Amino acid sequence: MLINNYKNIHKCRDSGSSPLFVACQGGHTEVVKMLINNKADVNECNDKDISPLFIASQNGHKEEVRMLIKNRADINKCKDTGESPLYIACQNGHNEVVQLLIDNKADINKYNNRETSALFIACQNGYTEVVQMLINNKADINKCIDTGESPLYIASQKGHIEVVQLLINNKAAIKKCRDIGQSPLFIACHQGHIKVIQMLIRNKADFVYRFWRITIVRCLSEWTYRSSSDINSE
């Protein structure tokens, strides 16, 4: 009855969230279908500029994403801090949603207000399959955030060995440093990620590099000493 009378289909909460928005958020497929069939605005955003497509992508609701795209949802509509539906799907590792958005021409290289790309956030969180999808679709493999960290840098820092290997295999700039001068090898040494260190060295990372007068060798030696001390104290 409420739908038939069209009285509440666009009525929003104080936060600006429409009935379609909350249905997409909860993954209520039949409700979403009913609202769309009754002319709900698929691009109506809440007070933070979050669209129904964004919230469905964030929560991994593939069918809701499919319906919204089919009904002309803006696939690249970003929230107020600049993240797109593709970005948030990559951040949360929703592989099927990522592929669906890519298949429907989502902007692979769109980045947020900190210049963080979908590829960067997928590398940061260690989602290898998502990283592969993005690379396959021409993501900028060396796009850095506003402080200069590259996808390879963040993957090295977090110790995501499979992601590091994938980036190297696809010609990521192995010697590219962030704004304050740290290289992927330096940060991997600082964090003690041995397998990442070995991989970077095998691929000709700069082993003589200095950061604030600290050499890679010294950094690695100090980490080895700390690790040995921790083991001996147990």
176-200 per-position pLDDT tens digit: 888 777 899 989 988 999 999 999 9
Q: What span, in angstroms and rounded, lies between the C-alpha atoms of 182 and 159? A: 16
Residue 224: the pLDDT is: 53
CATH topology of domain 108-234: 1.25.40
Q: Per-residue b/e over 29-48, b at no fewer than 16 CB within 10 Å?
A: bebbebbbeeebbbebbbee
pTM of the predicted structure, to 2 decimals: 0.86
In the chain, the percentage of residues whose pLDDT exceeds 70 is 82
pLDDT at 231: 37
pLDDT, position 206: 74
Give the 3-state secondary structure of residue 2: helix
**From-to residues of CATH 1.25.40.20 in the chain:** 1-106, 108-234
Report which residue type is found at 32. Answer: V
Q: Which residues contact 138 (CB under 8 A, 6 or more apart)?
A: 108
1-106 maps to CATH 3.30.360.10: no
Q: What is the pLDDT of residues 99-132, one digit of tens each?
A: 999 999 999 999 999 999 999 999 999 999 999 9
